[in-house]
Chains A and B, each alone.
Chain A
Amino acid sequence: MNDLWLYVAVAATIVLVGGGVVVVRRSRRTAVPPAPVPSTPAEPTATIQAVAPAEPVAPAEPVAPPSLRDRLSRARGVFASATTGVLRRSAIDQSTWDELEEAMLRADLGVSVTTTLLDGLRARVKQREIADPAALIRALRSDMTSRLAGADRSLAFDLARGAPNIWMMVGVNGAGKTTSLAKIAAQQIALGRSVLMAAGDTFRAAAGEQLETWATRTGAAIIRGAEGADPSSVVFDGVQSAAARNINLVLADTAGRLQTNTNLMDELRKVRRVAEKAAGVVTEVLLVIDATTGQNGLVQAKQFAQATQVTGVVLTKLDGSAKGGIVFAIETELGIPVKLVGLGETVDDLAPFNPEEFVNALFDE
């Protein structure tokens, strides 16, 4: 650890403001009066109308869960059109590779995964193992599927390891942690398990209210803390309360945080540590990733895994036009399996991840 930067920062800033470097600024005004530090608002903060919106009625009607294919078919495109283009030509040429590469990059697979996959295929084409465009497409599909094969995608629930089991939800802001937690709760309750939600997101305004709404809808118990309370203590209380009430699954929500914020990542470490100080045991740490996430998803997964030993990924919002290709890199480079995918707004739209369906959905017309 080198604190020197601290000194440099202070010194450099002083010099910038007070020293002669002001010449850098050329056309800008040279003397700006120091702006007053914004104090507490003097204006009345009264809310004009504090009516809570009517809850959109969403009775979770048990419908047959939609297949990934149905859902994704709305968003098909990149691979389908590349495939069409590739198959139109009688031989494999440079534009074949360009088209495939572009489709893969557009699906957010990333440069490194794309290059690896295509290099493998190029070698096989060279060895005459793959001879025509149709075989090439088949090989790509099967390579992509096999990259995702073999992972254990079940959600760990084992009371022999300790009771209650604790499943933690972690992720960046806006990934869909709270909604995913609610859906998992509904499904676990349907499986006959008793569920308690611990509202560990004490930072975002009204996150507790949001979870409470879900608790009421799903029939789960809930433990909340005050806004700004220590999330570790809220989760700890939740676990204790679950143990006392013989509830065997605690779903712990946490505040969204960017993986670059070391303080908040430390806080998350602590939540995980403290969660096991009471009776229970953490059997799942689910990283929630938005399917629209680009290459930063890999960095997220790395950092969150380091802080909390992530056991699986929940890929949300796959019902948009995004492809979620970043999971290839996450699974193969970090070995973290995708366990669930979010395909829509209703409770049943959170489904187990199926690699074959996922890849098929990318390619299908």
Chain B
Amino acid sequence: MFDSLSDRLGAVVGKLRNRGRLSEADVDEILAEIRTALLEADVNVTVVRNVLARIRERSVGEAMSKVLDPAQQVVKTVQAELIALLGGETLKITYASQPPTVVLMAGLQGSGKTTSAAKLAAWFKKQGRQPMLVGADLQRPAAVEQLRVLGAQIGVPVFSAPGDPVETARLGLEEARRLGRNVLIVDTAGRLAIDAEMMEQVRRISDTVTPRYTFLVVDAMTGQDAVTVAEAFNDTLAIDGVILSKLDGDARGGAALSVKEVIGKPIAFAATGEKLDAFEQFHPDRMASRILGMGDMLSLIEQAEQVFEKEEAEKAAKKLVDGKFTLDDFLEQLQQLKKMGPLQNVLGMLPGVGAQLKGAEVSDDQVKRTEAIIRSMTPAERENPQIINGSRRSRIANGSGTQVQDVNRLVKQFAEMQKMMKQFGGRLPSR
């Protein structure tokens, strides 16, 4: 996600890193690069103009006056602007004193409303709430059916009734009260922002259920139109926040950068995968770091903590820096890591890895092959890969359905990793 933007900005920043002092011309060049980067990332034209003006003001003034590493200064400025663009702080969700807390989902056709509604319900459930979904999209064939299937998958009840969407929403609210569900998420039909009739319908739904939050679902792949859409919906509905969908692709998500600036409403959540739990609260500061290619360590740590056994991981880490990490340990930790989702995503969050990863794709097939090879080794071989000789090698290759070269590579790269980690270990603060 946001790859290309971070690549581009990364290149600019890289060029600056070794400069002692920035001239006016340097600043112009940087700003031109940043402009192209932002435009290619689909950041709205007007927003680009405003951001550049602010960055120029701050960089020229400060960078010229300070002798200390002006490049860092520019990076800092850009980062600060990006954070401001993305919405400052993470939106804190609060609940209605009179339950249920009603959430209304709105957006264009195909933006991902129905899926986001289900993901949001799953998120509320994880927060210990009792959500309920209402299918008020009576327009698209089988939209309610889709919501019902998703609801069953996450264990959240779904209400819908045929006929009038406004009436359906009203009945849904009654039903939620009757059942004591404390969060109600209302899915509405996708509509075109310029379709007055459809906008009127969603406004009437909003009047009926008086939502605490109205979220606009915006596709991360949207271009310049995102701002027009957000403005139109905001005029009709008073949007409280944006849910950014399909952020797991390589879309640069400039729409995300623009909406906050134009309608002044933050990005509340981001959908980062097809699975129903691939849905997170949006952290502007982390995303800004990510855009600048600084990695997203905090998200990574947070995710890792959910799947890794802390004690086990500590033990493994100690073994690793002591050089006692075996292929068995590796296999075990790999199983944990796999729970965090596609490895590609995990890697993208490591600082500095994002850009270098471009050429080297880590597919799940590769992971499977690696596992197969290790599983075809004897305990002794896993303990000490050095003993793997020619005949052992071909046995392992046969056993795992791979080539001898694959086995060689695995052994070699594992050794490389051990070496790297030992070096790394020297720099770790000891506990």
Q: Which of B228, B347, B366, B417 contacts A321 (CB 8 A)?
A: B228
Complex Cα–Cα for A43 and B340 (A):
24
**A25/B301 in contact, CB under 8 A:** yes
Using known A-B contacts A14-B333, A176-B109, A320-B194, determine if residue A295 contacts B414 with beta carbons closer than 8 Å: no
A210 contact set on B, CB distance < 8 A: 140-143, 145-146
Task: With both chains docked as a complex, state the minimum distance between the C-beta of B403 and any C-beta of chain A, in angstroms.
Answer: 12
Bin chain A's interface residue count: 35 or more
A57 partner residues in chain B, CB cutoff 8 A? none
Alpha-carbon gap, A23 to B360, bound state (A)? 30
- Known contacts A111-B40, A176-B110, A205-B149: A296-B160 contact under CB 8 Å: no
| A64 within 8 A of partner (CB) | no
User: B158: nearest residue on chain A (CB-CB)?
Assistant: A47
Given A105-B224, A175-B110, A296-B250, are A214 and B141 neighbors across the interface (CB < 8 Å)? Answer: yes
How far apart are the CA atoms of A262 and B367 in the complex, in Å? 14
At the interface, yes or no: A75 with Cβ under 8 Å from chain B? yes
> How far in angstroms is the closest Cβ of chain B from A50?
7
**In the docked arrangement, what's the CA distance between A296 and B297, Å?**
26
Query: Are B313's CB and A105's CB within 8 A?
Result: no
Contact of B221 with A by CB under 8 A:
yes
Q: Nearest Cβ distance between residue B374 and chain A, in whole angstroms? A: 12
Answer yes or no: B108 CB below 8 A from chain A CBs.
Answer: yes
Binds B, one of A30-38, A86-94, A162-170: A30-38
Residue A127 interfacial (CB < 8 Å): no
- Asked, given contacts A14-B320, A18-B313, A172-B221, whether A55 binds B298 with beta carbons under 8 Å apart, the answer is no
The CB with the most chain B CB atoms within 10 A, among A4, A300, A319, is that of A4
Tell me whether A294 and B159 are in contact in the complex, defined as CB-CB below 8 angstroms, given that A17-B313, A174-B112 are known contacts: no
Known: A34-B306, A105-B224. A54 touches B162 (CB 8 A): yes
Residue B378 at the chain A interface, CB threshold 8 Å: no
Q: Which of B141, B142, B320, B362 contacts A5 (CB 8 A)?
A: B362
A3, A20, A41, A111, most chain B CB atoms within 10 A: A3
Report if A293 contacts B (CB, 8 A).
Answer: yes
Query: Which residues on the B side are within 8 Å of A107 (C-beta)?
Result: 224
Q: For residue A56, which residues in chain B have a CB less than 8 angstroms away from its CB?
A: 138-139
Q: A3-B366, A209-B142 are in contact. Are A48 and B150 (CB under 8 A)?
A: no
Report B90 CB to chain A, min CB distance, Å.
Answer: 13
Contact B246 A295 (CB under 8 A): no
B330 at the interface (CB under 8 A from A): yes
Interface flag for A49 (CB, 8 Å): yes
Residues of B close to A206: CB separation below 8 A: 142-143, 145-146, 148-149
Find chain A residues with CB under 8 A from B194 CB.
74-75, 320-321
Task: Tell me the complex Cα distance, A227–B160, Å.
Answer: 22
Cβ of B229 and Cβ of A5 under 8 Å apart? Answer: no
A365 to chain B, nearest CB (A): 17
A133 CB–B CB distance under 8 Å = no
**Is residue A292 within 8 Å, beta carbon to beta carbon, of the partner chain?**
yes
Selected from B153, B223, B251, B309, the residue in CB contact (under 8 A) with A108 is B223
Interface positions, chain B 291-328, Cβ under 8 Å from A, are: 297-298, 300-301, 304-310, 312-318, 320-321, 325
Q: Mark A1-41, 1 if CB is under 8 A from B, else 0.
A: 11111111111111111111111110010011011011001
Task: Verify if B163 is at the interface (C-beta below 8 Å from A).
Answer: yes
Task: Check if B160 sits within 8 Å of A10, measured CB to CB.
Answer: no
Question: What is the distance, in angstroms, from B49's C-beta to the closest C-beta of chain A?
Answer: 9
Kindly state the separation between the CA atoms of A17 and B110 in the bound complex, as whole angstroms.
38
- Verify if B211 is at the interface (C-beta below 8 Å from A): no
B254, closest chain A residue (CB)? A294
Does residue B249 face the partner (Cβ distance < 8 Å to A)?
A: yes
Q: How far is the CB of B193 from chain A (nearest CB, A)?
A: 6
CA distance A260 to B370 in the complex (A): 22
Given contacts A14-B333, A292-B226, A296-B251, contact A49 B309 (CB under 8 A): no
Partner among B142, B224, B251 whose Cβ is within 8 Å of the Cβ of A106:
B224
- Report whether B142 and A45 are in contact in the complex, using a CB–CB cutoff of 8 Å: no
Asked if A10 and B304 sit within 8 Å, CB to CB, the answer is: no
Q: How far is the CA of A224 from the CA of B334 in the complex (A)?
A: 37
> Shortest distance in angstroms between A212's beta carbon and chain B's nearest beta carbon?
8
Q: How far is the CA of A322 from the CA of B359 in the complex (A)?
A: 34
In the complex, A244 has a CB within 8 A of chain B: no
Name the B residues within 8 Å of A325 (CB-CB): 223
In the docked arrangement, what's the CA distance between A50 and B162, Å? 10
CB-based contact B246/A173 at 8 Å: yes
CB of B84 within 8 Å of the partner chain: no
Report yes or no: A263 in contact with B301, Cβ–Cβ below 8 A. Answer: no
Q: Which of B52-60, B96-104, B199-207, B421-429 contacts A (4 or more CB under 8 A)?
A: B421-429
Query: Is B353 at the interface (CB under 8 A from chain A)?
Result: yes
Check if B301 sits within 8 Å of A16, measured CB to CB: yes
Tell me the nearest residue of chain A to B406, going by C-beta.
A3
- CB 8 Å contact bits of B358-370 with A (1 = contact, 0 = none): 0111111111001
Complex contact A2–B160 (CB within 8 A):
no
Q: Which residues of B contact A14 (CB under 8 A)?
A: 308, 313, 316-317, 320, 333
| A16 and B300 contacting across the interface, CB-CB below 8 Å | yes
Q: Is the CB of B39 within 8 A of A11?
A: no
A339 near B: Cβ within 8 Å? no
In the complex, per-residue mask of A110-141: 1 if CB is within 8 Å of any chain B CB, else 0: 11000000000000000000000000000000
Q: Is B151 an interface residue (CB 8 A)?
A: yes
Assess whether A297 is interfacial by the CB under 8 Å rule: yes
Q: Which chain B residue has the least Cβ–Cβ distance from A108?
A: B223
CB <8 Å contact, A294 and B221:
yes
Q: Is the CB of B337 within 8 A of A10?
A: yes
CB-defined contacts of A173 to chain B, threshold 8 Å: 110, 112, 246
**Partner pick for B192 among A41, A111, A319, CB 8 A cutoff:** A319
Q: Which residues 58-90 in A have Cβ within 8 Å of B in the complex?
A: 74-75
Chain B residues whose C-beta falls within 8 Å of the C-beta of A204 in the assembled complex = 146
Q: Report if A34-B330 is in contact (Cβ < 8 Å); known contacts: A75-B194, A326-B223.
A: no
Which residue of the partner chain, among B111, B305, B325, B424, contacts A35 with CB atoms under 8 Å?
B305
Are A52 and B144 within 8 A (Cβ)?
yes
Query: 10 closest pairs, A vs B, by CB?
Result: A294-B223, A41-B155, A174-B110, A18-B313, A205-B149, A294-B42, A18-B317, A258-B249, A206-B145, A7-B417
Given A13-B340, A16-B297, A205-B145, output 12 extra A-B contacts at Cβ < 8 Å: A6-B343, A13-B300, A14-B308, A20-B431, A43-B156, A47-B151, A47-B158, A51-B161, A261-B248, A293-B221, A294-B254, A320-B229
Residues in B lying within 8 Å of A, measured CB to CB: 36, 39-42, 45, 108-112, 126, 135, 138-163, 175, 179, 192-194, 219, 221-226, 228-229, 232, 246, 248-252, 254-255, 274, 277, 297-298, 300-301, 304-310, 312-318, 320-321, 325, 330, 333-334, 337, 339-340, 343, 346-347, 350, 353, 357, 359-367, 370, 409-410, 413-414, 416-417, 420-421, 424, 428-431
Residues of A with Cβ closer than 8 Å to B? 1-25, 28, 31-32, 34-35, 37-38, 41-56, 74-75, 102, 105-108, 110-111, 172-176, 203-207, 209-210, 213-214, 227, 258-263, 290, 292-297, 299-300, 317, 319-323, 325-326
Can you list 7 pairs linking A and B with CB atoms under 8 Å apart?
Answer: A17-B313, A18-B313, A31-B310, A43-B155, A47-B151, A207-B146, A320-B194
